[in-house]
């Protein structure tokens, strides 16, 4: 595509802002031919010198001054009431106003979700937004959602997540027809709670244009058994944090083993030339940084608050791919099928007298 893409950045959001945001933008631009323009929302006095330090940013960047920023500890309801005019609010507002195609922030997750819902509203047919995360698997990445936005979900909401997650995976990971599965405690038909079983029945009844494979278990996530794994935000967030902790544990064991003796250190130095570097890159959370808020009338990407420049650059790459995709349009067909299936099932389950009056 030759048209210019505009990314709207909350330059003051995150543990190491605004420096990490500007440095990440510079990393993102290296070797990139896609025409982009960057809107930095934040303190102009701080941002000006940081951007000037990167000549490649100067010609494509615009600073939009914001007097305030959202605190990392602010409650979502408080953020909505008090954050109008903040760097986060203005970054999302730019998408609503058509000044940008996507907003990116490393700030407070709950506040960003609440502000995004107020500014952009939910897409027709979607009841709650979900956060989708890319998960390293033996060959590429899988998509897991929800990873924290919704602690409890109805069966219909899980099906909505499946629809949005499938379209997200196609947009970001460039897979034409990804497989989709519901996370469960077993693959047998009778396993799981009522919500999961009812979601499975609803997917099958809706006739969705989707490569649905049924239930998957926890170990299937990292094995890459299916491309898109759907669950509620409580379970998804626990799984994500467990995986991140396990990765840090294994990395620590490796460092300990490779520095335990002179021979081990020599072996480690040789491994640094190839295999170990590749393994380190695959385990680096900065290479998968960037959760996308799905279900909004617009695209918002959430970066880890403590990420580095490389990690923020990854979030910007995901933002670009989402903005360049037809994601928002692609989910409409399946959402329509889901709504029709819900209406049909409601009619079938209604008492006989109510069916006739309907």
Q: What is the pLDDT of residues 230-243, one digit of tens each?
A: 999 899 889 888 88
Q: Kindly tell me if the per-residue pLDDT of 263 is higher than 50.
A: yes
Q: Kindly tell me if the per-residue pLDDT of 304 is higher than 90.
A: no
pLDDT computed for residue 358 by the predictor: 45
What is the spatial distance between Cα 183 and Cα 213, in angstroms, rounded to a whole number?
11
More confident residue, 265 or 72: 72
* Residue 313: partners with Cβ closer than 8 Å, 6 or more residues away: 24, 25, 27, 28
pLDDT computed for residue 237 by the predictor: 87
Q: Kindly tell me if the per-residue pLDDT of 52 is higher than 90.
A: yes
What is the spatial distance between Cα 185 and Cα 234, in angstroms, rounded to a whole number?
15
Tell whether 86 and 183 lie within a shared domain. no
How large is the average pLDDT for residues 75-99? 93
Tell whether 116 and 158 lie within a shared domain. no
Q: 170-206: per-residue pLDDT in tens?
A: 888 888 899 999 999 988 877 888 999 999 999 998 8
Q: 20-29: per-residue pLDDT in tens?
A: 999 999 999 9
Tell whether 116 and 130 lie within a shared domain. no
Tell whether 199 and 275 lie within a shared domain. yes
Tell whether 284 and 301 lie within a shared domain. no
How large is the average pLDDT for residues 221-226? 91
Q: Kindly tell me if the per-residue pLDDT of 353 is higher than 70.
A: no
pLDDT computed for residue 60 by the predictor: 93
Tell whether 37 and 115 lie within a shared domain. yes
pLDDT band at residue 316 using 50, 70 and 90 as cut-offs: very high
Share of the chain above pLDDT 90, in %: 45
Domain that holds residue 280: 123-290+326-358
pLDDT computed for residue 125 by the predictor: 82
Tell whether 260 and 175 lie within a shared domain. yes
Q: 124-149: per-residue pLDDT in tens?
A: 888 888 999 888 888 888 999 988 88
Q: Kindly tell me if the per-residue pLDDT of 4 is higher than 50.
A: yes
pLDDT band at residue 332 using 50, 70 and 90 as cut-offs: confident
How large is the average pLDDT for residues 313-318? 92
Tell whether 113 and 198 lie within a shared domain. no
For 144-153, 221-230, 240-249, which range has the lowest pLDDT when averaged over its residues? 240-249
Tell whether 75 and 216 lie within a shared domain. no
Cα 251 to Cα 50, 58, 232, distances in angstroms: 33, 38, 29
pLDDT computed for residue 335 by the predictor: 83
pLDDT band at residue 269 using 50, 70 and 90 as cut-offs: low
Q: Kindly tell me if the per-residue pLDDT of 41 is higher than 80.
A: yes
More confident residue, 102 or 261: 102
How large is the average pLDDT for residues 51-68? 93
| pTM of the predicted structure, to 2 decimals | 0.82
Q: What is the CATH number of the domain that holds 186?
A: 3.40.718.10
Tell whether 116 and 170 lie within a shared domain. no
Tell whether 129 and 181 lie within a shared domain. yes
Q: Kindly tell me if the per-residue pLDDT of 30 is higher than 80.
A: yes
Q: Domain count of the chain?
A: 2
Tell whether 221 and 307 lie within a shared domain. no
pLDDT computed for residue 138 by the predictor: 85
């Amino acid at each position: 595509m030759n048209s210019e893409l505009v990314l709207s950045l909350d330059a003051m959001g995150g543990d190491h802002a605004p420096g990490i945001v500007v440095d990440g933008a510079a990393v993102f631009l290296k070797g990139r031919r896609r025409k982009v323009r960057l809107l930095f929302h934040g303190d102009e006095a701080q941002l000006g010198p940081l951007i000037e330090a990167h000549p490649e940013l100067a010609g494509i960047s615009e600073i939009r001054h914001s007097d305030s920023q959202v605190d990392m500890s602010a409650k979502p309801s408080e953020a909505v009431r008090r954050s109008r005019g903040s760097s986060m609010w203005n970054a999302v507002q730019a998408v609503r106003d058509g000044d940008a195609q996507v907003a990116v922030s490393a700030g407070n997750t709950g506040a960003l979700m609440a502000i995004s819902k107020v500014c952009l509203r939910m897409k027709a047919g979607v009841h709650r937004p979900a956060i989708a995360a890319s998960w390293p698997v033996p060959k590429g990445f899988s998509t897991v959602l929800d990873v924290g936005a919704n602690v409890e979900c109805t069966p219909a909401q899980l099906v909505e997540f499946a629809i949005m997650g499938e379209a997200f995976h196609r947009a970001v990971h460039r897979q034409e027809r990804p497989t989709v599965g519901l996370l469960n405690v077993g693959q047998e038909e009778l396993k799981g709670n009522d919500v999961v079983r009812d979601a499975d029945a609803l997917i099958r009844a809706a006739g969705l244009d989707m490569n649905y494979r049924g239930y998957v278990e926890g170990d299937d996530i990292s094995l890459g058994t299916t491309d898109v794994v759907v669950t509620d935000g409580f379970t998804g967030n626990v799984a994500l944090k467990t995986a991140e902790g396990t990765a840090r544990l294994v990395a620590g064991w490796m460092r300990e083993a490779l520095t335990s003796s002179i021979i081990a250190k020599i072996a480690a130095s040789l491994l640094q030339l190839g295999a170990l570097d590749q393994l380190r890159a695959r385990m680096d959370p900065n290479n998968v940084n960037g959760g996308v808020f799905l279900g909004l009338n617009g695209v918002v990407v959430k970066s880890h608050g403590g990420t580095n420049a490389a990690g923020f650059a990854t979030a910007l790459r995901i933002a670009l791919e989402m903005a360049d995709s037809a994601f928002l349009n692609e989910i409409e067909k399946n959402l329509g099928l889901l709504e029709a299936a819900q209406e049909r099932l409601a009619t079938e389950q209604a008492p006989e007298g109510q069916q006739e009056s309907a």
